[in-house]
Amino acid sequence: MIARPEPSPLARTTITFVGIAFVCFVFADVAITTVDPWQEFRLLLIGIVTPDFYATDSVALSIGYTLAFAFLGVALSNVLGLFLALLFFSRIVRTFCAIIRAVHELFWALIFLQLFGLSPLTGVLAIALPYAGIIAKVYAEILEEADPAPLKTIPGGTSLLSAFIFVRLPDAWAHFRSYSMYRLECGIRSSAVLGFIGLPTLGFHLETAFKEGRYSEVSALLILFYVVIASMRTWMKRPLIPVYLIGAAVILPWGVSFSFDNIVRFLTEDIVPHPLRSGAGWDALWDWLYLMVFEQAVPGTIATVQLTMIALVATGFLTIVLFPLISPLLLGKASRFCGHIFLVVARSTPEYILAFILLQLWGPSMLPAIIALTIHNGAIIGHLIGRYTETVSLRQDASKGLNRYAYEVLPRVYRPMLALLFYRWEVIMRETAILGILGIATLGFYVDSAFADLRFDRAILLIAITALLNICVDAISRSVRSRLRLQTSLKQQ
């Protein structure tokens, strides 16, 4: 009799996560409640196929602003991030980076909006700060993984600075460059999304058009947005970077003034819990904390974790379906071209927009959020894995068709896919924040409510809890990755 083999650690992890997601799904509210969804959906479809490029005022300027915030934000985060990466040996710096990247750029923007108002600084910093935290981590990893051999060849007495510039940097430079490109694409997306809360980017008009049901305008704005993202590699040339940066700095309307008093007031008064500020005593503070924890933080955390876990596992399943669309191992050139377009559209469409559409269709529940996060993230990881298969070579006599997919390709990409999924876990959790603004009761919902009520003490507490949750997920993800020995280097693509 043959003993049943122990399931591999990879399979065990997969089963555990699918199990957790299943339990979350059972308890999630995913009922479809709409009575008459097709009317609005029909209008939406008509709008999508009849884009109206002249409906929006100053659309060129808003594209300009979208790019300008992205350029300056990503440039600044590169400088800050590189600097922080060099200090990454310090626990304090690592913690600092973990905190700043754990807060969604939308929340940063809401905070900076209080400090600087609708000044361009709000948008630039909202992108630069969280990105600096991410870039520091990635650059530190790149430097760490670099080949140590060249360092051994330099003569003694070489200064640390020279050693860094002439020995370590050249090796890592190509990685930095390609990662910066990827960050810029993220930055453009983030910049557009910041429009939802009032910065003058594409998202500003997109949100308006959406809310008012002007779907032809929505369609036009989305098409423009896709074109900007998809054409990035043609206009993003290295010698042009200074031109773009100066252009960005020039077109942004810096004229909006802000006062130092506002900043001081926000930091020393507004964010102090109300009972303390009004001197209402410890009992009142206790009541305040009780309310915040048991009526907001706990239910918000449960919904956030629930949504994150379901979306993570669903993203995994969708990735398996999507990556073949652009894989040369599985499809011909023409099909891959269509696949590329599909994936660009799916991954560039902000999850907020997807959830908004699905909310119309299915009514208020967690379902629109799950599907929106899954499509968005599935398309991103599907794209990365599809690109990864370009580097995989199969035997000449490898099987064809479904067999090739199931027995040759899938097993080869499964580890990198899990690595990316676990890396993306924290990102998905951060993205649930923005869906809270649509009314799905994640922590983001309570943060949005606090900002709507101008209760910044509550907002900051909830953001801190959100950040803590993100840091926990990041730590768990790291330990899972290291236990399964999943390499993270793929994410640099």
Partner 1 sequence: MMVRSVLAAAGVFALMQAPVATPVMAADFVFTAIPDQDETQLRKRFGKVAEYLSGTLGLKVKYVPVKSYAAAVTAFRNNQVQLAWFGGLSGVRARELVKGSRAIAQGKKDPFFETYFIAHKSTGLKFSKSFPKKIAGMTFTFGSKGSTSGRLMPEFHIRSAFGKVPNKVFKKVGFSGNHSRTIALVQSGAYQAGAVNYKVWNRDVKSGKVDTSKVTLIWKTPPYPDYQWTMRGDVNKQFGKGFGKKIQDALLSMNDPDLLKSFPRAGFIAARNTDYAPIKDTAKKLGLID
**Contact positions vs partner 1 (CB under 8 A):** 33-37, 39-40, 72, 75-76, 78-79, 113-114, 116-121, 124, 165, 169, 196-198, 204, 207-208, 211-213, 238, 241-242, 245-246, 248-249, 252, 254-259, 262, 274, 278, 359-360, 363-365, 439, 448-449, 451-455
d(CA 214, CA 199): 20
* Nearer to partner 1 (CB atom), residue 203 or residue 378: 203
Least separation in angstroms between CB 445 and partner 1: 9
* Nearer to partner 1 (CB atom), residue 132 or residue 473: 132
* Nearer to partner 1 (CB atom), residue 413 or residue 462: 462
* Burial (Cβ within 10 Å: 0-12, 13-18, ≥19) of residue 470: buried
d(CA 340, CA 323): 10
Contacts of 143 (CB under 8 A, 6+ apart): 85, 86, 168, 172
* Nearer to partner 1 (CB atom), residue 121 or residue 313: 121
* Nearer to partner 1 (CB atom), residue 79 or residue 338: 79
Name residue 141's amino acid: E
Least separation in angstroms between CB 286 and partner 1: 16
Measured CA to CA in angstroms, residue 331 lies from 162, 404, 411, 442 at distances of: 48, 11, 18, 40
* Nearer to partner 1 (CB atom), residue 284 or residue 410: 284
Contacts of 24 (CB under 8 A, 6+ apart): 305, 306, 309, 310
Q: Is 486 left (phi over 0), alpha (psi -120 to 50) or beta?
A: beta
* Nearer to partner 1 (CB atom), residue 164 or residue 226: 164
CB-based burial, 34-44: b 16+ in 10 Å, e otherwise: eeebeeeeeeb
* Nearer to partner 1 (CB atom), residue 15 or residue 452: 452
d(CA 246, CA 118): 21
Least separation in angstroms between CB 29 and partner 1: 8
Least separation in angstroms between CB 133 and partner 1: 17
Measured CA to CA in angstroms, residue 454 lies from 195, 295, 451, 460 at distances of: 20, 18, 5, 11
Residue linked to tokens 């067999």: 403
Give the max Cα distance, the chain: 81
Least separation in angstroms between CB 14 and partner 1: 34
Least separation in angstroms between CB 187 and partner 1: 13
Least separation in angstroms between CB 213 and partner 1: 6
Least separation in angstroms between CB 82 and partner 1: 8
